[in-house]
Amino acid sequence: MLTDQQARTAVKELVVKYLKGVAPDCQLLIELIEDPSQQVPIRGVLEDIRQYCNARYTQQELEHIDDCLYIFG
């Protein structure tokens, strides 16, 4: 299980890998993820990835997504 900071880093890596240069709200998502006082919008990130690209996640990314969904809802 990831810690809060590790989970935030994993979500940020997903945003950078799949949404940077594609999604118009990419920078806003990164700012929300980096702000420890904000809830991480994991479902919004996954929805944007689904909307803007046809992602094929690695096994490690799938495990991180599962942990992040558990941690952040």
Q: What is the pLDDT of residues 8-35, one digit of tens each?
A: 999 999 999 999 999 999 999 999 999 9
- What is the spatial distance between Cα 67 and Cα 2, in angstroms, rounded to a whole number? 7
- What is the spatial distance between Cα 37 and Cα 8, in angstroms, rounded to a whole number? 12
How much is the mean pLDDT over the chain?
A: 94
| Neighbouring C-beta atoms of residue 4, cutoff 10 Å | 11
Beta strands in 1-73 (DSSP E): none
Percent of the chain whose predicted confidence (pLDDT) is above 70? 100
Overall pTM surpassing 0.75 (yes/no): yes
Please report the pLDDT score of residue 66 as a whole number: 97
Average pLDDT on 55-64 reads 95
CB 12 within 8 A of CB 20: no
| Neighbouring C-beta atoms of residue 6, cutoff 10 Å | 14
